[in-house]
Amino acid sequence: MSNAGPSRQVRVLVVTNVGPTIIRAYLGPLASLPEVEEVVVVRDQANVPPLRKIRLVTPPAWWPRGTVSKLPARGWLLRGEASNCPPDVVMTVHWFPDGPGAVRLAQRLGVPFIGNIVGSRAELICGGRRVALSALPSWVKSLAEEYQRAYLNQASALTFTGGATRAWFQAAEVRRPHLSVLHAAMASDRLRPGGGPRTLDIAFIGRLDPDKRIDRLLRVLAAIGRRRGGTAVALIGVSEDRVARLPEYAAARSALGEGLRLLEWVSDVGEVLRSAKLLLVTSDTEGRTLSVLEAMLCGTVPVVTDVGDLREALADGEAGILVPVKGGENTLVGCMADAACALLDEEPRRASLALRAEAHARREHDPRRTAEEWRSVLNAVGL
């Protein structure tokens, strides 16, 4: 496929449950290709800002919004859209839970299927995150994982956020599709360092999913608070009523006092990051998570567990701090607290690292690079 004069226009049909930021970062560059006529996105809500050549298809206003009703709604809308205007390719962004149904639809239509794995290993382990976190017996989770693996191997192509995740899926016997790395496009005027003082020491952006290890985060924050009086911390995406149930919360609150703020929702995460010095990520599994890339673009230095694709995101530690996950939980918590305190107490080093992080993120996640990666994926499946 060449840049000039595409011989045919490609219509893309996507089903996904991801948020607007991920849609913009991954599907925006796809839609920018001249050979792509339209990207139709089936999702639960229409809360995505207008994007050129991207059309949203969502359930009617009267449709129930509960978790149980969302998956059948997406399936119904996906089949209806495919019937009204057959696509040239079917996709998912985030494999679980829509992947198998989308593969079957692509097979019935006789078109390629492309799955974009943005949730790292959690999209396969024990059948997918929701299954893995359920109370189902282990043998059911094992069968669910085999079910997901079988459908992943029926895809025409799969993309991953980094080479580490791609290698992990290959080792987990997902080998038949074309496998490649797709970088999120992160160009945005709102993601730039601010000119004012950084009044927030530490930010966290995430969810209460067990693999995000909020328990570990709270232990790290307690250790920091005991060593640095007056440390200011903001946890974004986390409600206090739910975190307060965790036994580690009391220690973190005692050590940080009013310096610990929990904000379940913010209108602009960039505004928070422009005021923050560090971003903490304490997960057991991660892809090249957008929160880390957003932090880097805003001049906030990531201090992260060395898991998944985070090593690639931080240029092997040249654009942030990687903390090895080894030596037991107490050792890991101590090492993360040490790394965070050292940067907070040495602003010239932190500022220098922030500059390298921003430059690396802008270079690696240029939308033009993502568009060319998409072109290679489309070529690989014969489009």
* pLDDT tens track for 54-98: 999 999 988 887 778 888 999 999 999 999 999 999 999 999 899
- Of 297, 253, 292, give the one whose Cα is nearest residue 274: 297
Give yes or no for residue 171 having a pLDDT over 50: yes
Where do the structural domains in the chain lie, given as residue ranges? 10-185+366-380, 200-364
Asked if 10-185+366-380 and 200-364 have one fold, the answer is yes
In terms of Cβ atoms closer than 10 Å to its own Cβ (0-12, 13-18, 19+), residue 173 is: exposed
Contact 291, 272 (CB under 8 A): no
Q: What pLDDT score was predicted for residue 193? A: 86
Neighbours of 373 (CB within 10 A): 18
* pLDDT tens track for 222-279: 999 999 999 999 999 988 888 999 999 999 999 999 999 999 888 889 899 999 999 9
Indicate the DSSP class of residue 184: P
Average pLDDT over residues 340-359: 96
Q: What pLDDT score was predicted for residue 7? A: 59
Note the Cα 106 to chain centre separation in Å. Answer: 25
Strand-strand pairing, 36-42 and 54-57: parallel
Q: What pLDDT score was predicted for residue 118? A: 95
* pLDDT tens track for 11-50: 999 999 899 999 999 999 999 999 999 999 999 999 898 9
Can you list the positions of beta strands (E) in 17-106?
36-42, 54-57, 89-93
Strand order in the sheet with 321-323: 260-263, 233-236, 200-205, 276-281, 301-305, 321-323
d(CA 317, CA 268): 27
* pLDDT tens track for 175-220: 999 999 999 999 776 788 877 899 999 999 998 888 889 999 999 9
Q: What pLDDT score was predicted for residue 210? A: 81
Strand partners, 15: 42, 92
Q: What pLDDT score was predicted for residue 1? A: 45
Domain 10-185+366-380 has CATH 3.40.640.10: no
Residue 90: helix, strand or coil by DSSP? Answer: strand
Tell me whether the omega of the peptide bond preceding residue 348 falls within 30 degrees of 0, making it cis. Answer: no
In terms of Cβ atoms closer than 10 Å to its own Cβ (0-12, 13-18, 19+), residue 91 is: buried
Strand partners, 93: 16, 116
Q: What pLDDT score was predicted for residue 195? A: 77
Residue 16: helix, strand or coil by DSSP? Answer: strand
Average pLDDT over residues 270-292: 94
d(CA 221, CA 214): 10
Tell me whether the omega of the peptide bond preceding residue 247 falls within 30 degrees of 0, making it cis. Answer: no
- According to CATH, what is the number of the domain 200-364? 3.40.50.2000
* pLDDT tens track for 97-154: 999 999 999 999 999 999 999 999 999 999 988 888 788 899 999 999 999 999 999 9
Indicate the DSSP class of residue 318: T
Give yes or no for residue 6 having a pLDDT over 80: no
Residue 339: helix, strand or coil by DSSP? Answer: helix
Q: What pLDDT score was predicted for residue 2? A: 44
Strand partners, 262: 235
Contact 278, 202 (CB under 8 A): yes
d(CA 186, CA 209): 25
